[in-house]
Amino acid sequence: MTDNTQNADDMNFILGEEAPKEQKKEKKEKKVEKEKKLQFKPGCGVDVGTSNIVVARQTEDGTFVNRFHRDMLYPLDVSDESADLLERSDYLYVKVNNKYYIVGEDALKLVNAIGKGEIIRPMKDGLLNPSLQESSELLFYIIKAVVGEPIVEGEPLRFSVPANPLDKDIDNTFHQMILQNFFTKLGYSAKPVNEAMCVAYDCNPLMKSDEGDVPLSGICLSFGGGMVNIALMYKGLELNSFAITKSGDDIDEKVSRVTGMAQSKIVKAKEKMFDLTNVDMSDRVQAALSIYYDEMINRVIYMVSREFVEKSSEMDGEIEIVIAGGSSMPKGFCDKFNVNLKESDIPFKIYQTRHSSNPFHSVSQGASIRAQADYAKLNKK
């Protein structure tokens, strides 16, 4: 961790680019005030992702309000210079012992501007990174500040958890317990919910059968930062769910390795301008991103098909596939997925592949819908 720590002197020049602290603070206060006035329905959904924490609540008029923050940290030694830097800037930080940890988007901003050091990721492969106990604790700071307090006593909260992956020996039990305890401590009635099922609750895949359209039936895929989560469901019941490792972060890491560019810069390039329908192969980053995206899509479809064939999965109708997740956001992703799907051995009749209208927020929104159902169930009793 010490190697990543930066001297405050290195980053003083960045201060000039920042808006005045007071002005930003005022804006933020207004935003919070406005949000408080909204009437939320009880039922909080939290997507605890490898790259971002997204919290969703729905208002009475049906609007989802999604609050999101990157779960990243950038360590900075405590010194007069760093204290001065933080005093003059509006970077958000947590101070633990003799270190400041700049949190979220600011961490990414700083590392890109300075060009050295690495940001710390408290999550790995969709789970709390077990090798970073201190930053896991810091992650709770971030989550707490994004989630806020329950709006009714014991408000139901659902947090997304990945399924156990097919291709790596990882068990998510401990991760689930930690988060459940954490949210319970905040005053929520918290339960885990499968990440891919959240996509189904948000997007409602339909199966076409002799009975007509069957709701909440089909396949959902959530392409997250750490893993790809997949679920097959029928009338809202989870029939099979699993995950596949090596998703968006893995692509960033590989592209960084072959191009020699810092991973944080690859993330920015991918999120800002990458388009799978228009790849400039003379640009090394774009070319590498395109190659590794192809590899991921191919591998995922192969493994999904193999899993369903091995489990002899069947559905009595033509189904829909819904795709969501931050790593599915480059333009043309679904078209590439479809091309590969047509050549696969997937044992279902598929009438269409649909991209979620809010791929980045589907998991949190679906979790909120599940939490609202918990609240409705409580009130029925």
Of the two residues 105 and 307, which places its CB atom closer to other proteins in the complex?
105
Quote the DSSP letter at residue 217: -
Could you give the string, one character per residue 215-234, with x where binding to other proteins holds by CB under 8 A and - elsewhere?
A: xx------------------
320 binds other proteins (CB under 8 A): no
62-70, 73-81, 260-268, 306-314 -> range binding other proteins (CB under 8 A): 62-70
- 209, exposed or middle or buried, with CB in 10 Å at 0-12, 13-18, 19+? middle
Among 82, 189, 204, 241, binds other proteins (CB under 8 A): 204
246 binds other proteins (CB under 8 A): no
Among 9, 113, 181, 342, binds other proteins (CB under 8 A): 181
Element at 94 (helix H, strand E) = strand 93-96
Could you give the string, one character per residue 341-370, with x where binding to other proteins holds by CB under 8 A and - elsewhere?
A: ----------------xx-xx---x---xx
Beta-bridged to residue 258, according to DSSP, are: none
- What is the C-alpha separation between 374 and 368, in angstroms, rounded? 10
Among 14, 83, 178, 329, binds other proteins (CB under 8 A): 178
Q: Are strands 127-128 and 123-124 parallel, antiparallel or unpaired?
A: antiparallel
As a dihedral over the C-alpha atoms of residue 83, residue 92, residue 153, residue 33, rounded to 10 degrees, the angle is 110
79 binds other proteins (CB under 8 A): no
- What is the C-alpha separation between 141 and 258, in angstroms, rounded? 35
CB 227 within 8 Å of CB 244: yes
Calculate the alpha carbon distances from 47 to 15, 57, 97, 190, 372 in Å.
Answer: 32, 12, 29, 13, 15
Closest contact distance (angstroms) between CB of 346 and other proteins is 25
191 binds other proteins (CB under 8 A): yes
Q: How far is CA 359 from the centre of its chain?
A: 10
Q: Which residues bind other proteins (CB under 8 A)?
A: 31-32, 35, 53, 55, 58, 61-69, 86, 92-97, 103-105, 133, 136-137, 140-142, 145-146, 148, 173-174, 177-178, 180-182, 185, 191, 201, 204, 215-216, 235-237, 357-358, 360-361, 365, 369-370, 372-374, 376-377, 380
